[in-house]
Amino acid sequence: MSRTVRAGALAAVALLLAGGTAGCGDEEKKDGPPGKAAASASPGSKNGELPPPPAALTGQQPRWTDCDAPTAALGPSARPPGDRWQCATVKAPLDYADPDGDTLGIALIRARATDPDRRIGSLLLNFGGPGSSGVASLPGWGTVFDDLGARYDLVGFDPRGVAGSSGVVCRDSEAMEAAASRLDHTPDDAAEEKAFLADAQDFAAGCERRSGRVLPHVGTENAARDMDLLRAVLGDDRLHYLGFSYGTRLGAVYAHLFPRRVGRLVLDAVSDPSADDVRHARNQTTGFQRALENYLADCAARGASCPAGTDPAAGAEKIAGLLRRLDREPLPAAGGRKLTESLARTGIVRALYSEQLWPRLTAALREAFGSGTGSRLLALADAYNDRDENGRYSSQSHSQRAISCADSADRTSLGEARALLPEFRELSPVFGEFLAWDLAGWCAGWPVRADAGRPEVSAEGAGPILVIGTTGDPATPYEGAKIMADALGEGVGIHLTYKGEGHGAYSSGNACMKGLVDAYFLDGEVPRDGRTCT
């Protein structure tokens, strides 16, 4: 199981009047002119004032060409390849401290507004990770955004260091397979600890060897500056943005840097912006255990058909026992592969991201407990790990680690992780041990110096930003949304609650929450702070 949302996941919004204009006169000048404005930092940036990118970059005219949606992105809600999608690449400074120096390309995909006479502007989207490709993801969400896509150009992008934007690559699929299937991610003795740490250091060395040029420049603040460059290039006075999971952190950092350029901003599935790495791991341990208990309660209510039994607490221990057995002896699975402890846990994690996947988890557990085979859990793990049927892995986890380790200077030693084990096992017998050890392996041997601070997200001067937390969210627990809303500032963060399951509210199918978000984006209606949807 790779780190789900290490830096956080998801962040900022400001209200414009319907039609896409807000603010006036002297207030706007504090962050520079509208339209093709330079993507300079606002006062208060943690890195200080930076020189603006040159006009050759802020005045780019993207060369949009028709393109097919990446086949990997096509899901049940996707449009067929080639239907209304256009792709382009925009140049951005490799180093914003040297804006006239080397550049890298930011890959974009868009669908033009279907009601152009009532077009508001562009809506930039980030789907989390960190490391998720917006170019690959947006087409798979096509029908979910149809109401917004009537009046906005929907724009997905690969953040720097991701996929088509100088994507970080650290090792090949063969090495990825070996680490996923043979490495013990919850080491039991000194030899396994040594192998665990050596693999992490080998991964870091591979990142430096293959992607050393971009590693120092893939942090979230740089990505936020890229978003302001994209805003200018797309011709918008304000940035309209919808960010999920890690995308909430990215949006919040943007709001801090450019508060008066914030348009309508929504953060969904929000992580705690104040958490250091240990607290973040503690939050996720709590969140995944809570989601598992919610699943087990639902499963138990179905009676004897539940493979974990009719007592949710006993069910969690039964699953923990399965993982302990897999640590000693993996189960056979399809294609001659084996279901290890780590892969089984990853499969469980994947299913907890959405209530719609709970039936697949039930079937997978029934197979593992009943027939002693692990093909279904392994298939769920493969989906989470971006492994295709030919054994090829995407580089999403490489980008995820690079961005996370660029954002945080926290480095947990093996000894410190070992000391956390009792607490984390108490928080969750299923996920605690893994997430404690993961602290030690994640940035071990990382070759680039990181920013030591937490993300600064205060956004005084921005308009209202919708901040959505889901009570059953496993990866970004509900409590983080209120912390984010408060950190954005009084009158800026509008805290909304979805009483439900899964990672993200807008895509959950809940009509109440979708209605609130759509009314905000389309009509400028700001919901009451503290509003709850069930």
Convert 313-341 to b/e letters by CB count within 10 Å (16 or more is b).
eebbebbbebbeebbeebbebeeebebbb
Burial label for 100, CB within 10 Å (0-12, 13-18, 19+), is exposed
Q: Is 458 part of the annotated catalytic residue set?
A: no
Q: Around 117, how many Cα atoms within 13 Å sit in the side-chain half-sphere?
A: 0
Catalytic pick from 185, 256, 473, 495?
473
Q: Which residues are CB-neighbours of 235 under 8 A, at least 6 positions away?
A: 35, 36, 122
- Say how many Å lie between the first and final Cα of the chain, rounded: 31
Contact indicator for 247, 389 with CB cutoff of 8 Å: no
Q: What is the dihedral of CA 256, 258, 260, 266, to 10 degrees?
A: -60
Q: Is 217 part of the annotated catalytic residue set?
A: no
Cα–Cα nearest to 122, from 47, 228, 6: 228
Catalytic pick from 217, 410, 503, 508?
503
Distance CA 63, CA 61 (A): 6
Q: Is 503 part of the annotated catalytic residue set?
A: yes
Contact indicator for 351, 384 with CB cutoff of 8 Å: no
Catalytic pick from 122, 132, 245, 408?
245
The backbone torsions φ and ψ at residue 70, rounded to the nearest 5 degrees and listed phi first, read -55, 130
Partnered with residue 262 across adjacent β-strands are: 239
Three-state SS sequence of 378-405: HHHHHHHCCECCCCCECCHHHHHHHHHH
Catalytic residue list: 245, 473, 503
